[in-house]
Structure 1
Amino acid sequence: MALNKNEIAQLLELYKAAVFEKDAVKFLSLYDTSSRVFDTWGVWVFEDLESRRPVIENWFGSLGDERVTVNFDDVQITGTEEIAVLTAVGTYAAISLDNKELRSMQNRFTWALKRYAAQWKIVHEHTSVPIANDLTAKLQRD
């Protein structure tokens, strides 16, 4: 059986929906319980799902009335029917109640994915942004 890239594309859609809905339970369900995450913000590494839970809950809770849309560009997927790697550029945009973009940022994604029965889970996530010569983060792609 070959890799079904449409199944992994569906994982991206579930991620986007969970962020937009500010649903921490749905968001975290996309990750394996022992997932290791190298995040862009603040913490060097999360060694499992439970260590990351408060950060995700705080993120969604801090948004107030705002929503966040996520779009993925330059998506590349490779792998087998049991394990895959996805790379992409993600754009996060804060949206006001009247549907206006307030701010946005981009980062680079790498996901290591493992298939469990009929669903894919993120077992490793690495997000990053380039650092300019003056040591500031570049949050928009040139």
Structure 2
Amino acid sequence: MSLLVFTSTITQNGATVGTYVYNAMNERVAKNHGSTTTRFVYDQTSQLVSEASGSTRRDYIAVAGIPLAVADGASLGFIAADGLGSPRAVTSSTGAVVWTHVSGNIVGEHAALGIGTSTAPMPKQN
């Protein structure tokens, strides 16, 4: 059972752009952005395994803590990680790049390059 420890609110120009909820393990368990709430699920080793928002669900597949793939609806993306296991790019089954790590956004949100959007950093990216 996760216990709520704290929330964090991000503001930009005086307006709230996001609220984050963390549990006792310092895992982000919810994100509120506008009218959308995203829930995050972790395994016993604090590895992010799934996120859900409304009827949309994204599952992360890893072996020994190294991210390998992300299942997003009917699509499966393959993760290219760096030497520390941090995701740096995701490619489609055809090899097209659909997500890359882009730094600099204060709320940690990145637009995908092709088949949708990523609303949070990939696991182990922080």
Structure with higher strand content: 2
TM-score (norm 2): 0.29
Rg comparison, structure with higher value: 1
TM-score for the superposition, normalised by structure 1: 0.26
Larger RCO (alpha carbons 8 Å, 6+ apart): 1
**Whose helix proportion is higher, 1 or 2?**
1
